[in-house]
């Protein structure tokens, strides 16, 4: 599997606008790793404050499908 993790750009308001690819910052990209039940990784969120959306995209190495996960987050 490989993963790409994005956070909406500072200043983007997820409560009033729809997200487009230009509204996202790539904050982490992983190399390949074996499948597992639980996945944890560290992501630097330095410079982000307020409400954001975290978008994770992963692709299983044995399939030609991508999976998307979106989370509302608040950096206080």
Q: What is the pLDDT of residues 25-66, one digit of tens each?
A: 999 988 766 666 667 788 888 999 999 999 999 877 666 788
- Round to whole Å and give the CA distance between 52 and 8: 6
Q: Which long-range CB contacts under 8 A does 18-23 form with residues at least 24 apart?
A: 19/53, 19/55
Residue 9 placed within a domain = yes
Residue 42 placed within a domain = no
pLDDT at 54: 94
- Round to whole Å and give the CA distance between 18 and 36: 32
Sheet architecture: strand order including 24-29: 24-29, 2-8, 51-59, 66-74
Question: What total number of domains does the chain contain?
Answer: 1
Residue 52 placed within a domain = yes
Residue 66 placed within a domain = yes
Domain containing 65 equals 2-37+47-74
């Amino acid at each position: 599997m490989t993963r790409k993790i994005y956070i909406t750009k500072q200043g983007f308001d997820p409560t009033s606008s729809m997200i487009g690819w230009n509204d996202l910052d790539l904050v982490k990209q992983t190399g390949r790793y074996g499948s597992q039940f639980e996945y944890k990784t560290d992501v630097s969120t330095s410079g982000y404050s307020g409400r954001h959306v975290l978008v994770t995209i992963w692709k299983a190495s044995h399939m030609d499908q991508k999976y998307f996960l979106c989370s509302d987050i608040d950096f206080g």
